[in-house]
Amino acid sequence: MFAKTNAARVAVTATATAAVLLSAGAALAASPLDGRISLRNDRHRPVQVTIDGEETVRLAAGQTRTLHHIPNGVRFLE
């Protein structure tokens, strides 16, 4: 009887561990809510654009660039 109880405990533990690992992998994957920001520099000189004070992008004069994997929502572009 002890062997059956121990086997059940191991099975439950293995299932719970697998569920935790799968949910962690899903959390690390790219979110469908991640979007794109298209930037275009209409000026005659290069500019630097900072997104949320973290990511800095340099655009040459007349250059257009699309940034991927930007979380959706209100972004502060400077």
The residues pairing with 71 across neighbouring beta strands, listed in sequence order, are 34
User: How far from each other are the two terminal CA atoms of the chain, in whole angstroms?
Assistant: 68
pLDDT at 42: 93
4 band by pLDDT with thresholds 50, 70 and 90: low
pLDDT at 63: 92
Q: For residues 19 and 38, which has the higher predicted lDDT (pLDDT)?
A: 38
SS3 percent helix, strand, coil of the chain, rounded to 5, is: 35, 35, 30
- The H or E element containing residue 64 is strand 64-71
**pLDDT (tens digit per residue) in 40-65:** 999 999 999 888 888 788 999 999 99
Residue pair 31/69 in contact by the 8 Å Cβ criterion: no
Residue 35 CA to residue 71 CA, distance in Å, equals 6
